[in-house]
């Protein structure tokens, strides 16, 4: 049986990486990568239905939750080192991955230099650089061009005004609106800029996974039929070759049908 969730840290040169661990010593390791703006607690809550089948670790991803980063930005290898350190702590165990939304991108980057390949990977509503919100802006060129205007934009109340108007006019959905409002605190703005730089400089690693996702092991992508943030149509137009299935649910609402499919894929 799985134990209660325990708060733990990886104390590394790059920062103090927080995660929640729900130990299940005789089971394989399943690492949960949460969406942007969420945290380890969110991931553990949404995927707790897997606790009797796996030893669960839910990371607070860089610039999220209780994780504290000591560098101005992280390299792809830094992100891989987080995963590798978790694997060292759980040596002799096979590991699996579940990446939700933005977490799917971080999972790919983490696996790019992983010392061990995953057995299986599930992505739910993955961003993967395919959506209208991220396809343009998360790459090195646009980061260099737009980083100064972005800092100015985020440092004023203009963000709130424009995003509120866009939301009322139905130009953006509620998740995009929440994303913009989230960045109004000074620390959130600083974290967003650091994260943007990290992702921009690691985008090449993500693109390599389109061609060769072998480190993800046997992989599948699930989408909710009501998901307007990462709809399956964007993914199908991309060059990702991981099989995808549309199920009931939305971006953050995971239905029982979807839970059953995730459990079935990971445990059989």
Q: What does the pLDDT look like over 55-87, one tens digit per residue?
A: 999 999 999 999 999 998 899 999 999 999 999
Q: What does the pLDDT look like over 215-252, one tens digit per residue?
A: 899 999 999 999 988 999 999 998 898 999 999 999 99
Mean of the pLDDT values across residues 1-6?
Answer: 79
Verdict on whether the full-model pTM lies above 0.85: yes
**Per-residue pLDDT, 155:** 65
Q: What does the pLDDT look like over 139-172, one tens digit per residue?
A: 888 888 888 887 777 766 777 788 888 888 887 7
**Per-residue pLDDT, 183:** 62
Per-residue pLDDT band for 208 (boundaries 50, 70, 90) equals confident
Write the secondary structure of the chain as one string of H (helix), E (strand) and C (coil). Answer: CCCCCEEEEEEECCEEEEEEEECCCCCCEEEEECCCCCCHHHHHHHCHHHCCCCEEEEECCCCCCCCEECCCCCCHHHHHHHHHHHHHHCCCCCEEEEEECHHHHHHHHHHCCCCCCCCEEEEECCCCCCCCCCCCCCCHHHHHHHHHHHHHHHCCCHHHHHHHHHHHCCCCCHHHHHHHHHCCCHHHHHHHHHHHHHHHHHHHHHHHHHHCCHHHCEEEEEEECCCCCCCHHHHHHCCCCCCEEEECECCCCECHHHHHHHHHHHHC
What average pLDDT does the chain have? 89
Per-residue pLDDT band for 182 (boundaries 50, 70, 90) equals low
**Per-residue pLDDT, 223:** 97
**Per-residue pLDDT, 54:** 97
């Amino acid at each position: 049986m799985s134990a209660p969730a325990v708060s733990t840290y990886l104390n590394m040169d790059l920062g103090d990486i927080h995660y929640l661990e729900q130990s299940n010593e005789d089971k394989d390791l399943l690492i949960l990568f949460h969406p942007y703006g969420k945290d380890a607690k969110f991931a553990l809550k949404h995927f707790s239905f897997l606790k009797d089948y796996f030893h669960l670790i839910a990371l607070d991803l860089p610039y999220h939750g209780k994780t504290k980063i000591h560098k101005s930005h992280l390299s792809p290898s830094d992100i891989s080192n987080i995963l590798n350190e978790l694997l060292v702590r759980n040596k002799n165990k096979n590991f699996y991955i579940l990446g939700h939304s933005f977490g799917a991108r971080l999972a790919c980057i983490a696996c790019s230099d992983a010392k061990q390949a995953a057995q299986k990977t599930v992505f739910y509503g993955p961003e993967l650089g395919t959506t209208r919100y991220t396809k343009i802006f998360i790459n090195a060129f646009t980061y260099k061009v737009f980083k100064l205007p972005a800092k100015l934009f985020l440092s004023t109340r203009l963000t709130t005004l424009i995003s509120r108007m866009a939301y009322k006019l139905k130009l953006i959905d509620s998740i995009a609106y929440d994303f913009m409002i989230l960045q109004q605190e000074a620390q959130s703005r600083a974290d967003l800029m650091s994260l943007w730089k990290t992702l921009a400089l690691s985008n090449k690693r993500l693109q390599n996974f389109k061609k060769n996702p072998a480190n993800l092991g046997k992989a599948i992508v699930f989408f909710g039929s009501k998901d307007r943030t990462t709809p399956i149509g964007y993914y199908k137009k991309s060059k990702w070759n991981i099989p995808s299935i549309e199920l009931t649910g939305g971006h953050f609402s995971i239905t029982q049908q979807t839970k059953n499919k995730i459990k079935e894929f990971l445990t059989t």
